[in-house]
Structure 1
Amino acid sequence: MKTLYDVQQLLIGFGIYVYLGKRLYDIEMMKLELERLYDNGLVDKEDYMIAELILRREHRIEEKNEASKED
Structure 2
Amino acid sequence: METLYDVQQLLKRFGIFIYVGNRLWDIELMMIEVKQLYEAGVIEQREYLNAIMVLRAEHQLEQTIQEERANE
The normalised TM-score by structure 1 is 0.99
Question: Is structure 2 residue 57 aligned with structure 1 residue 57?
Answer: yes
Within 5 Å, give how 1:5-24 maps onto structure 2.
5-24=5-24
- Which runs of structure 1 show a deviation greater than 4 angstroms over 4 or more consecutive aligned residues? none
SS in 2 for 1:69: helix
Q: Hey, what does 2:69 align to over in structure 1?
A: 69
Aligned Cα root-mean-square deviation (Å):
0.3
The normalised TM-score by structure 2 is 0.97
Q: Hey, what does 1:47 align to over in structure 2?
A: 47
Question: Residues 14-69 of structure 1, C-alpha deviation per residue, up to 9 Å, x if partnerless?
Answer: 00000000100000000000000000000100000000000000000000000000
Separation (CA, whole Å) in 1 of partners of 2:9 and 2:20: 16
Separation (CA, whole Å) in 2 of partners of 1:62 and 1:18: 16
Letter in 1 for 2:17: Y
In structure 2, list runs of 5 or more residues that go unmatched: none
Identity of aligned residues (%): 45
Separation (CA, whole Å) in 2 of partners of 1:30 and 1:70: 24
Letter in 2 for 1:46: R
